[in-house]
Amino acid sequence: MGYVLLAGAIAAEVAATTAMKYSDGFSRLWPSVLTAVGYLVAFTLLAQTLKTVAVGTAYAIWAGLGTAAIAAIGVVFLGEGLTVTKFAGIALIIGGVVVLNMGGAH
C-alpha cells in the first residue's frame, strides 16, 4: 500500500509543479490554487507512505521520478529541448532509483 500512496504523491507533486509553471509567478489564481492543493496532497500522501516505506527510499523515489516526469513534461508539452545530456541525466535519475530499490529497499 505504501508504494501506491507514493505513486499518488508523485502524481500530485508533478501536477502541482506543472500548475506552478502556468501560475505566472503566482499571479494567476487557478493555477496557483492547483499548485497549493497539489503540494498539500503530495506531502500528505508522502507522510502516509513513510508509515511503511523507509524515508530514504521513499524520498529518493519521490524526488527522482518526480524530477524525471517534470523533465519529460517540459520536453513533450512545454517545448523544452531534449539534448543528449538532458536525456542522460534523466536516465541516470531513473537508474539510481532502480539501483536504490534493488539494494535493499524494504
* pLDDT over threshold 60, residue 21: yes
With residue 2 as reference, give the H or E element that holds it.
helix 2-22
Q: What is the DSSP letter of 105?
A: -
Report pTM. 0.88
Task: Write out the three cell numbers for 51.
Answer: 508509515
3-state secondary structure 49-63: HCCCCCHHHHHHHHH
Helix (H, G, I), strand (E, B), or coil: what is residue 43?
helix
Question: Rounded distance, CA 97 to CA 62, Å?
Answer: 9
The chain-wide mean pLDDT, for the chain, equals: 92
Q: What are the residue ranges spanned by the domains of the chain?
A: 2-102
Residue-wise pLDDT for 66-95, tens only, equals 999 999 999 999 999 999 999 998 899 888
